[in-house]
Amino acid sequence: MAEHYIPDDLPTHIRHYIDGEFVDSVNGATFDVLDPVSNESYATAAAGQKEDVDLAVAAARKAFTNGPWPRMKPRERARVLHRIADAVEAQETRLAQLETFDTGLPITQAKGQALRAAENFRFFADLIVAQFDDAMKVPGAQINYVNRKPIGVAGLITPWNTPFMLESWKLAPALATGNTVVLKPAEFTPLSASLWAKIFKDAGLPDGVFNLVNGLGEEAGDALVKHPDVPLISFTGETTTGKTIFRNAAENLKGLSMELGGKSPAIIFADADLDAAIDSTLFGVFSLNGERCTAGSRILVHRHIYEAFCEQYAARARNIVVGDPHDPKTEVGALVHPEHYDKVARYVEIGKTEGRLLAGGGRPEGLPGGNYIAPTVFADVRPDARIFQEEIFGPVVTITPFDDDAEALALANNTRYGLAAYVWTNDLTRAHNFSQSLEAGMVWLNSHNVRDLRTPFGGVKASGLGHEGGYRSIDFYTDQQAVHITLGAVHTPKFGASASQ
């Protein structure tokens, strides 16, 4: 195995960023940050507590109440967002190296995340300039119009898979609409989040508009969710944490947008383009190391093509290149953290009792250290199996046969999750009717997850609450105030005007 690549100028200590300054925790608390190839600590990070979140929220609240950001014209904010996008694109190689080092994602896939982060800022910069709101007229009587206003301090809690890109997905619309923010990145992967501070400062974002508090979810995240001066929480993560946030946000009736877990089906009918379906379903579950919420981790295949599909799919899975994330040949890298590696490895062992192992099944040969798991394929998996029902979030896939459309639909909908689904068929009528019957927030026909930023993103059932993307993000981060203007005489009942008897 080649020597493990370590980027230049790695920090040894990662700090909070509050009101335009890098600071440590008030009580000096820290936690260790590991890289997933060596599992050695390369840095400490400030561990935010309630008092640190209080300082960050106070700075954000001051910037919202007294600062220029919410009062700037959309074009002025858009110029700042475009400068942010320019800076992200200019640092693409560096960002990809840091993201790969911190997360274990293959370098070729990490590069795509940096460009997508820049595009998120460009998209919302353009959207707020083109934004218009409703006006309704009753001729000669009334005009009603919508006055859209930023809400205040947005609390953004982001996950450890593709962290920089997913941070941009929340930061861009929150800032574009004139809010101020407190970002709490995932504790496993705080490295790239610390880059936002300089990017924003150089782009001209006023101090206090962006604040960053590192720390554990049960400490910094919990304090942010419960803070009475944070009216909005946008969270991406697993469903159990989402339920806790839902409960804790109830006290202050916060606005919530939560994209949670998934166990998304890929349904392959007998008339599908088999080669294209195999390419897409392999990429759909094994890209990003399988650590993706929209992974098509349950493949349902018509029995007429089932054995042929299983044979070809497993042969390709066994040929996937697993190795050092910084090697351009690598297709699956190291899982993010030893805790997560242990979880996925436990599911692999459970799967050996619940399905027919066709590929993988444990640590790849030649990689004795690091958080590596070979792409693992189980066939003949029953719908009551744990590996069919529970989110694994790693390079593990189940394959299950079906005999007709009704059985395929029942299997597809037979989990508590409902984030994404993928349908493979060349029958146009079936494609539309089947897709619309799926309990999923998003459906892709004859492709993997290729997304237009204008479309809503979100799930149903245990996969989330609300939608973001395009105008849905604008709606979430703004209040829509109805203003009513009377144009003619108002006929009002004259209470109390009659002479007393």
Q: What are phi and psi of 155, to 5 degrees?
A: -95, 120
Query: How far is it, in rounded angstroms, from Cα 201 to Cα 432?
Result: 47
Strands 232-236 and 153-157: parallel
Q: How far is CA 145 from the centre of its chain?
A: 33
Tell me if residue 353 falls in helix, strand or coil: coil
Q: Tell me if 329 sits within 8 A of 322, measured CB to CB.
A: no
- List residues with catalytic annotation: 259, 293
Query: How far is it, in rounded angstroms, from Cα 301 to Cα 402?
Result: 6
Strands of the sheet containing 232-236, edge to edge, are 21-23, 16-18, 210-212, 180-184, 153-157, 232-236, 255-259, 464-465
- Among 174, 169, 183, 205, which Cα is nearest to 80's? 205
The single residue listed with the structure tokens 């049960």 is: 218
Q: Any idea what DSSP says for residue 500? A: P
The single residue listed with the structure tokens 């409902």 is: 418
Query: How far is it, in rounded angstroms, from Cα 165 to Cα 118?
Result: 8
The single residue listed with the structure tokens 């604040």 is: 211
Q: Give the chain's end-to-end CA distance (angstroms, integer).
A: 101
Joined together, the tokens standing for residue 19 give 């009101």
3-state helix, strand, coil in the chain (%, to 5): 40, 20, 40
Q: Count of alpha carbons within 13 Å of 107, Cβ hemisphere only?
A: 17
- CB count within 10 Å of CB 285 equals 28
Q: What are phi and psi of 404, to 5 degrees?
A: -150, 175
Q: What are phi and psi of 437, to 5 degrees?
A: -90, -10
Work out the angle at residue 120's Cα, subtended by the Cα atoms of residues 123 and 233, and round it to the nearest 5 degrees. 110
Identity of residue 336: V
Q: What is the CA radius of gyration of the chain?
A: 25
Query: How far is it, in rounded angstroms, from Cα 463 to Cα 295?
Result: 13
- CB count within 10 Å of CB 316 equals 17
Joined together, the tokens standing for residue 137 give 């007229």
Q: Largest Cα–Cα distance of the chain, in whole Å?
A: 101
